[in-house]
């Protein structure tokens, strides 16, 4: 047996010298390129010497502190150089003297700037020399062999910016499933709403079991209505009612409803129906709140049932009308089956009997917990060396009692991550526990915070970030990925126990500020406000002196700041901000001082019902990569010179404009994704779209007056993802507008009343198609057969006249997942379904007729 020594101490990324060293090497390499570009020969030699010198080392706490300070200095050099480069890039193209004066406070004196940069780099070199002279030398690897910051799945970056749906089978829960189904199907006290709780520890598989039950044919055929509700950690009756309404309504976009409207719609939805509602992950111990919800649900037919999943026995006692089902861990053989299915490709374990032997020892340490089994096994996937498996099996973290809130299995799996993945995982602690995470937003935040690095100049940072996400997903640190949830966005979740791990990994640099926190460490770099008194104008006293803050987020509770003065104070105090998320606010004016945040890369002011305009100073944000101003119904328009945002890659907008000026959006040459959302007055798009030669995603959602696409659409040759939803007047000219988009990989069409199954050609790269809310659609469009070699995912939903799957469906040989939901008419499956050998998942909520052949 190979014995491998590992530290049992769990370190946050701010104190883990190995992670900090890997981060520093990447940053110093960038500074090397800066020194080379500015002909700083003596500095260049010293920097390169630091990178290539090998030192044997123990990475102590003192070293970690020095590495962290050096990282900050290197980052400062990189930021200043990028700002200077952007100003030089914009200056020749800016024709407006007013704009030039707004952005540049003085002439760009190259000689003076070079001298200032020399001083900054020499300051960094002094810190690097101090690290090199420290008694415990650090082992540095040569840059050419540096393996840490490359894409997790090899060198080739994917051209697809959407994430594949992740499937996993259910192992060892047949008896549990049958027991729960039996309880749900048998008759009980018809005068009382039947509530059946499933109780178990975190990660034991309560939600998985509930899904297993929910999708069982006996359940599907028995109940008239099946509803799945994820209950947030803070129990809100209104949110549960919203989910019920949104689950059954036939239109695609859901406007905000008041409580009385919700109650009426829930009554209409449930009245007289035999329903099953799953309330997943309930934490509420307040019987008053549960009684309020229960009264509203007691309108169904006799025999309606509620299935509850919870960790807490107290919740089961409050909600349950029968004793709870206590879910235990998997049996040993089932645990081994699950572990091997995650650690090996199907059948490959027979080629590695020595690894299976080690697997059995690891499985015993996971104690039958499916989450732990999957995460540990996933960390070993594609590893075939006995030593690699022994590292995990013999890791001293299995026996450590330190940091008891984090399970041994999660700690051991975390230690197998590369440094870049550890940093990305730790950043997820900025999201609240149990929340749904928008994948695009996560990717944009990782990039904005500088957590993503590329191994060569040709790589795209977002493609690298998606590779990181996929790797963490494959290791089960993320779960429940749903592509284009609610039609137009892709989401995932993070298990509560994994979120606890992320919090521990984040350490002191991340902080959630609420009314109970008195002292905030001056080491904090990322702040999320939650349950904080926003009626005042002042910041927490212990935070105001922290000039190094990088992140301010108000997105946790869906309640942003109400005072413009509060936002002004944030801007004035924290000039180093990279991320400012002040969504769900109600202030009516964004301070013009926002233009002074020269390092800002991510700005979110979405879901503000009061703001009417953005200040012209926003055009000074040359580093801005993401601007979100969607769901701002009073916004008159975008600033005139928004084209100066030369780094802008992602734009989400809602405005009152009838059309977009050609010299506005069309000038954003770096734009990769454009989301036009709920623009009620918009009648036409700009011909300037043809200049967006880097655009990969275009989403047009909830624009009821938009009647046609500009001819410029055919010039979007790099477009990969197109979403057109709830544009009731748009005819698409019988689909011909999208005919020339040959690179299209994902297409979402929804809420177009007149759209029929017309032919269109050349969509031969299509991998995913969603058709939703199309009342005239009766079968699949014939043109889909042209994507037979590429189409992997097909979903049809809320198409009320959809009545047939065509015989040629058998030609879609690449199809892996087929979903048909909320289509009222009955239809039969074509005989050739057996030819779809790649089909892994088929589901239909419509009534299927059995073929007589």
| Dist. CA 410–CA 534, nearest whole Å | 37
Q: Does residue 672 contact residue 648 with C-beta atoms inside 8 Å?
A: no
- Calculate the average pLDDT of the chain: 82
Closest by CA position to 496, among listed 117, 217, 225, 202 = 202
Closest by CA position to 836, among listed 783, 794, 779 = 794
First to last CA, the chain: 59
Q: What is the pLDDT of residue 2?
A: 35
Q: What is the pLDDT of residue 236?
A: 87
| Dist. CA 75–CA 14, nearest whole Å | 15
Q: Does residue 635 contact residue 613 with C-beta atoms inside 8 Å?
A: yes
Closest by CA position to 773, among listed 252, 213, 311 = 252
Closest by CA position to 505, among listed 472, 465, 547 = 472
Residues paired with residue 628 on neighbouring β-strands, in sequence order: 604, 652
Question: How buried is 662 (Cβ within 10 angstroms: 0-12 exposed, 13-18 middle, 19+ buried)?
Answer: middle
Phi then psi dihedrals of residue 367, to 5 deg: 55, 35
The two tokens of residue 221 are 């055929």
| Dist. CA 832–CA 849, nearest whole Å | 15
Q: What is the pLDDT of residue 845?
A: 62
Q: What is the pLDDT of residue 457?
A: 74
Element (H, E) at 482: strand 479-485
Residues paired with residue 307 on neighbouring β-strands, in sequence order: 196, 278
Q: What is the pLDDT of residue 7?
A: 37
Q: How many Cα atoms are found within 13 Å in the side-chain-facing hemisphere of 359?
A: 30
Phi then psi dihedrals of residue 518, to 5 deg: -100, -45
- Secondary structure of 550-605 in HEC code, one letter for each residue: CEEECCCCCCCCCCHHHHHHHHHHCCCCCEEECCCCCCCCCCHHHHHCCCCCEEEC
Strand, coil or helix: what is 785?
helix
pLDDT in tens, 294-318: 999 999 888 899 999 999 999 999 9
| Dist. CA 646–CA 297, nearest whole Å | 52
Tokens 């209409």, residue located:
268
| Dist. CA 36–CA 34, nearest whole Å | 5
Q: How far is CA 464 from the centre of its chain?
A: 14
How many other CB atoms are there within 10 angstroms of residue 169's CB atom? 9
Q: What is the pLDDT of residue 254?
A: 53
Q: What is the pLDDT of residue 707?
A: 83
- Secondary structure of 653-717 in HEC code, one letter for each residue: ECCCCCECCCCCHHHCCCCCEEEEECCCCCCECCHHHHHCCCCCEEEEECCCCCCCCCHHHHHCC
Q: Does residue 683 contact residue 706 with C-beta atoms inside 8 Å?
A: yes
Phi then psi dihedrals of residue 114, to 5 deg: -60, -40
| Dist. CA 578–CA 621, nearest whole Å | 11
Q: Which residues of the chain have pLDDT under 70?
A: 1-10, 52-61, 91-109, 132-169, 187-191, 249-256, 400-405, 484-488, 515-518, 531-537, 555-558, 662, 732-740, 754-762, 826, 844-853
| Dist. CA 532–CA 331, nearest whole Å | 46
Residues paired with residue 438 on neighbouring β-strands, in sequence order: 491
Q: What is the pLDDT of residue 55?
A: 47
Closest by CA position to 177, among listed 225, 139, 220, 212 = 212
Kindly write down the DSSP assignment for every residue of 488-526, as one continuous string.
TEEEEE--HHHHHHHHHHHGGGEEEE-TT-----TT--E
| Dist. CA 678–CA 653, nearest whole Å | 8
Q: Does residue 290 contact residue 318 with C-beta atoms inside 8 Å?
A: yes
Q: What is the pLDDT of residue 469?
A: 96
The two tokens of residue 212 are 């297993």
Residues paired with residue 699 on neighbouring β-strands, in sequence order: 675, 723
Element (H, E) at 758: none
Strand, coil or helix: what is 226?
strand
| Dist. CA 510–CA 549, nearest whole Å | 10
Kindly write down the DSSP assignment for every residue of 210-221, as one continuous string.
HHHHHT-HHHHH
Closest by CA position to 746, among listed 754, 738, 756 = 738
Largest CA distance in the chain: 86
């Amino acid at each position: 047996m190979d014995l491998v020594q590992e530290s049992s101490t769990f370190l946050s990324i701010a104190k883990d010298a190995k992670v900090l060293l890997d981060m520093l090497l990447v940053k110093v390499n960038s500074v090397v390129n800066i020194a080379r570009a500015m002909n700083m020969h003596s500095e260049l030699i010293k920097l390169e010497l630091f990178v290539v010198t090998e030192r044997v080392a123990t990475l102590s706490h003192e070293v970690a502190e020095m590495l962290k300070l050096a990282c900050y200095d290197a980052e400062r050099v990189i930021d200043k150089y990028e700002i200077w480069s952007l100003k030089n890039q914009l200056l020749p193209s800016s024709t407006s003297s007013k704009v030039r004066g707004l952005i540049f406070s003085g002439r760009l004196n190259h000689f003076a700037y070079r001298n200032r940069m020399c001083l900054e780099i020499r300051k960094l070199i002094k810190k690097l020399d101090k690290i090199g002279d420290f008694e415990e030398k650090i082992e540095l690897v040569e840059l050419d062999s540096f393996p840490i910051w490359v894409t997790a799945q090899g060198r080739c970056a994917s051209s697809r910016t959407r994430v594949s749906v992740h499937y996993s089978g259910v192992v060892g829960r047949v008896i549990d499933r049958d027991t729960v189904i039996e309880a749900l199907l048998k008759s009980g006290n018809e005068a009382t709403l039947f509530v059946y709780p499933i109780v178990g520890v975190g990660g034991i598989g309560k939600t998985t079991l509930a899904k297993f039950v929910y999708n069982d044919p006996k359940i599907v055929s028995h109940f008239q209505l099946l509803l799945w509700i994820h209950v947030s950690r803070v129990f809100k009756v209104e949110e549960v009612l919203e989910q019920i309404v949104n689950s059954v309504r036939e239109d695609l976009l859901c406007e905000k409803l008041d409580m009385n409207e919700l109650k009426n719609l829930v009554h209409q939805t449930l009245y007289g129906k035999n329903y099953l509602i799953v309330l997943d992950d309930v934490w509420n111990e307040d019987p008053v709140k549960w009684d309020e919800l229960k009264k509203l649900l007691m309108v169904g037919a006799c025999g309606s049932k509620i299935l509850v999943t919870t960790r807490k026995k107290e919740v089961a006692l409050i909600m349950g009308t029968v004793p709870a089902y206590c879910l235990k861990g998997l049996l040993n053989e089932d645990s081994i089956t699950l572990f091997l299915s995650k650690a090996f490709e199907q059948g490959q374990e027979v080629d590695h009997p020595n690894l299976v032997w080690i697997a059995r020892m690891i499985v015993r340490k996971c104690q039958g917990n499916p989450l732990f089994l999957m995460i540990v096994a996933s960390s070993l996937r594609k590893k075939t060396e006995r030593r690699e498996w022994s590292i995990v099996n013999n890791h001293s973290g299995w026996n450590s009692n330190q940091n008891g809130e984090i399970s041994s299995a999660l700690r051991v799996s975390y230690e197998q991550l590369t440094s870049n993945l550890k940093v990305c995982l730790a950043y997820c602690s900025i999201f609240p526990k149990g929340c749904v995470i928008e994948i695009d937003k996560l990717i944009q935040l990782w990039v904005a915070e500088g957590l993503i690095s590329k191994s060569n100049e040709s790589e795209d940072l977002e493609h690298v970030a998606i590779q990181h996400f996929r790797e963490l997903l494959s290791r089960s640190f993320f779960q429940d990925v749903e592509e284009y949830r609610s039609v137009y966005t892709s989401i995932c979740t993070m298990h509560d126990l994994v979120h606890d791990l992320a919090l521990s990994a984040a350490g002191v640099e991340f902080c959630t500020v609420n009314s109970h926190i008195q002292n905030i460490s001056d080491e904090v770099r990322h702040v999320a406000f939650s349950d904080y008194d926003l009626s005042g104008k002042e910041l927490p006293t212990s935070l105001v002196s922290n000039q190094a803050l990088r992140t301010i987020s108000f997105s946790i509770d869906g309640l942003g700041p109400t005072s413009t003065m509060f936002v002004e104070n944030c801007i004035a105090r924290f000039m180093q901000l990279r991320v400012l998320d002040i969504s769900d606010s109600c202030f009516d004016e964004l301070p013009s001082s926002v233009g002074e945040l020269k390092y800002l890369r991510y700005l979110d002011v979405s879901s503000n019902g009061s703001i009417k305009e953005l200040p012209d100073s926003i055009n000074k944000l040359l580093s801005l990569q993401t601007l979100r101003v969607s769901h701002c119904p009073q916004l008159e328009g975008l600033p005139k010179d928004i084209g100066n945002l030369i780094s802008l890659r992602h734009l989400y907008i809602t405005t009152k404009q009838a059309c977009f000026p050609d010299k506005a959006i069309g000038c954003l040459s770096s734009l990769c994704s454009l989301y036009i959302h709920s623009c009620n007055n918009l009648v036409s798009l700009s011909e300037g779209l043809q200049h967006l030669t880097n655009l990969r995603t275009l989403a047009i959602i909830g624009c009821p007056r938009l009647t046609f696409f500009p001819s410029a659409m055919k010039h979007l040759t790099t477009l990969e993802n197109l979403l057109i939803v709830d544009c009731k007047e748009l005819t698409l000219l019988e689909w011909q507008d999208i005919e020339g988009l040959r690179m299209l990989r994902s297409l979402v069409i929804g809420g177009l009343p007149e759209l029929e199954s017309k032919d269109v050609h050349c969509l031969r790269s299509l991998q995913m198609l969603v058709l939703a809310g199309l009342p005239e659609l009766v079968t699949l469009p014939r043109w889909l057969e042209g994507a037979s070699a590429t189409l992997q995912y097909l979903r049809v939903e809320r198409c009320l006249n959809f009545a047939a799957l065509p015989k040629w469906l058998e030609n879609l040989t690449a199809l892996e997942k087929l979903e048909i939901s909320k289509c009222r008419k009955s239809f039969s499956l074509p005989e050739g379904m057996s030819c779809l050998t790649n089909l892994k998942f088929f589901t239909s909520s419509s009534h299927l007729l059995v073929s007589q052949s």
